[in-house]
């Protein structure tokens, strides 16, 4: 049986308060609430609407988007028996695998949708920032297919760690810059401030925004964090619900890695809704790197999401925009903050979070690869760590569903470093974290005071 979900799950319908509270951006410098017109000059009306509407529970996926989804969806949901055996557990571990499409990750789900809406709105070029390059590859192909030009700024450290991913984007016809680059003010400023700058998603996005504002017909697109991106990704969880039903099992625990949040929201929102509406409790665990532990160590505060300061302050779980995240191989999880919507939900206790060190992540990834053959992205391996914890800590056999956001074939140099014993544990500089959090608290207190 083919199970193809044809709607996105709009979680704002379950929590209408977030639709109002969620975005609520502020300008800390002026202590004014940002107006929408200031806030998202780059978003098309339809995407803006998707980010804020609470009135319908399910949003129909447009036919042209569904048609492209059908090239690779439904994605596999398989029981990883060989992995269970390798762990010696009697629990059932399922994985939902989003790495089997051409672009290699879940990012394609939103890339296709965004390319569709932008094209429909008359946009000619998309600019964007990408971390490990999964989003960059996805939007490059989606734009190529939709007949849109695309300019990608890829975080420097990932660009060098994963040299084949920018090639992939070029194959799809995209223009790629290593960020910080020399082609924008934001990039040049970052290079002057730190000539050895590893780069960050906040700088890459800042560069992309600058370019979008300077070229007529160009718009900035974002691969995660915003509500509409989270919404598009719920096709993953919608489909997984149907597949679990077909299998005749239901997960006690759902795990996913969290960067800016779209992968995590994609699998978990539909399960959260099922849990709320059908009274079937599901424990949802967000897995993050110790290197960038915004959920387990960050604070809930107003902060900037990009280095260009053109985006408004948003309230989110964050380590502060001044934090310098170690160059871990899970480049997609190096963003200092996370989605405002998810952050609010985390504050309200709707899910848990765990942080993992880099070596444990790769140890788990190699164990999984030998058992199942699947070489997963370092980001996705965090979800496997959380799944392993869940079955090990359970007093009795349970059912766990781990979301594998992408394959790791273009991350094999990272696996190489691990197998050679040349990988560090990805621990952050504690002094720097303390300083960043302190700066963040000061800014927020100042804004409260005036």
Query: Binding pattern to its own copies, positions 60-79, x when CB under 8 A?
Result: -----------x------x-
- The binder of its own copies chosen from 117, 346, 356, 415 (CB under 8 A): 415
> Virtual CA dihedral for 241, 293, 382, 389, nearest 10 degrees?
-80
Q: How far is the CB of 373 from its own copies (least distance, A)?
A: 3
Q: Work out how close the CB of 369 gets to its own copies at its nearest, in angstroms, rounded to a whole number.
A: 5
Q: Which of 17, 31, 278, 419 binds its own copies (CB under 8 A)?
A: 419
Query: Is residue 141 involved in binding its own copies (CB under 8 A)?
Result: yes
Least separation in angstroms between CB 140 and its own copies: 10
For CA atoms 152, 156, 158, 163, give the dihedral sign: positive
- Cβ burial of 371 (10 Å; 0-12, 13-18, 19+) is middle
User: What is the nearest approach in angstroms of its own copies to the Cβ of residue 132?
Assistant: 14
One residue of 31, 215, 409, 427 binding its own copies per CB under 8 A: 409
Query: Does residue 171 touch its own copies according to CB under 8 A?
Result: yes
In this structure, which long-range contacts are made by residues 430-435, counting pairs with CB atoms below 8 Å and at least 24 apart in sequence? 432/323, 432/324, 433/297, 433/319, 433/323, 435/322
Per-position x/- string for 234-273, each x denoting binding to its own copies as judged by CB under 8 A, each - no binding: ----------------------------------------
Q: Which of residues 354-383 bind its own copies (CB under 8 A)?
A: 366, 369-375
Which one, 56 or 171, has the nearer CB to its own copies? 171
Binding residues for its own copies, rule CB under 8 A, total 34
- Is residue 100 a contact residue for its own copies (CB under 8 A)? yes
Angle, CA 360 vertex, CA 342 and CA 423 arms, to 5°: 110
Q: What are the backbone angles phi and psi of residue 367, rounded to the nearest 5°?
A: -60, -45
Long-range contacts of 117-122 (CB under 8 A, 24+ apart): 117/44, 117/46, 117/47, 118/44, 118/146, 118/148, 118/219, 118/221, 119/146, 119/147, 119/148, 120/44, 120/46, 121/44, 121/45, 121/46, 122/217
Work out whether 416 is an interface residue with its own copies (CB under 8 A): yes
User: 299 or 366, CB closer to its own copies?
Assistant: 366
| Position 104 contacts its own copies (CB under 8 A) | yes
CA atoms of 324 and 294, how far apart (whole Å): 13
The verdict on 102 binding its own copies (CB under 8 A) reads yes
Cβ atoms of 96 and 77 closer than 8 Å: yes
C-alpha dihedral over 9, 10, 16, 20, to 10 degrees? 150
What is the smallest separation between the CB atom of 263 and its own copies, expressed in angstroms? 20
Contact residues toward its own copies (CB under 8 A) are 71, 78, 82, 100-104, 141, 144-145, 163-164, 167-168, 170-173, 366, 369-375, 409-410, 412-413, 415-416, 419
């Amino acid at each position: 049986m083919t199970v193809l979900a044809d709607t996105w799950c709009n979680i704002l319908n379950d929590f209408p308060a977030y639709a109002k509270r969620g975005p609520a951006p502020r300008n800390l410098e002026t202590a004014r609430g940002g107006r929408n017109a200031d806030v998202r000059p780059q978003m098309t009306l339809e995407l803006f609407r998707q980010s804020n509407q609470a009135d319908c529970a399910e949003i129909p996926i447009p036919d042209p988007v569904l048609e492209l989804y059908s090239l690779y969806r439904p994605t596999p949901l398989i029981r990883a028996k060989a992995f269970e055996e390798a762990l010696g557990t009697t629990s059932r571990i399922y994985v939902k695998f989003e790495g089997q499409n051409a672009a290699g990750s879940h990012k394609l789900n939103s890339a296709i949708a965004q390319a569709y809406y932008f094209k429909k709105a008359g946009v000619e070029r998309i600019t964007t920032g990408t971390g490990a390059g999964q989003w960059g590859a996805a939007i490059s192909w989606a734009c190529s297919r939709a007949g849109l030009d695309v300019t990608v700024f890829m975080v420097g450290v990932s660009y060098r760690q994963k040299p084949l991913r920018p090639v992939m984007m070029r194959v799809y016809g995209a223009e790629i810059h290593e960020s910080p680059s020399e082609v924008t003010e934001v990039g040049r400023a970052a290079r002057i401030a730190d000539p050895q700058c590893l780069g960050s998603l906040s700088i890459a996005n800042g560069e992309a925004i600058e370019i979008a504002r300077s070229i007529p017909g160009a718009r900035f697109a974002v691969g995660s964090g915003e509500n509409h991106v989270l919404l598009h990704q719920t096709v993953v969880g919608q489909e997984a619900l149907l597949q679990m039903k077909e299998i005749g099992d239901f997960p006690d625990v759902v795990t996913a890695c969290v960067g800016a949040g779209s992968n995590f929201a994609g699998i978990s929102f539909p399960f959260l809704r099922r849990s709320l509406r059908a009274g079937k409790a599901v424990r949802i665990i967000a897995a993050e790197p110790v290197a960038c532990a915004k959920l387990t160590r960050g604070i809930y505060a107003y902060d900037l999401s990009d280095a260009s300061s053109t985006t408004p302050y948003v309230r989110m779980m964050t380590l502060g925009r001044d934090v310098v995240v170690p160059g871990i191989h899970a480049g997609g999880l190096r963003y200092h903050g996370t989605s405002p919507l998810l952050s609010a939900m985390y504050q309200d206790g709707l899910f848990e979070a765990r942080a993992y060190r880099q070596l444990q992540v790769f140890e788990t990834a190699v164990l999984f690869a030998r058992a199942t053959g699947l070489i997963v992205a370092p980001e996705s391996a965090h979800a496997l760590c959380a799944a392993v914890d869940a079955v090990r800590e359970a007093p009795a056999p349970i059912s766990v569903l781990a979301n594998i956001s992408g394959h790791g074939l273009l991350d094999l140099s990272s696996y190489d470093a691990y197998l050679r014993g040349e990988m560090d544990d990805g621990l952050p500089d504690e002094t720097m974290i303390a300083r960043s959090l302190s700066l963040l608290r000061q800014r927020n207190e100042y804004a409260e005071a005036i």
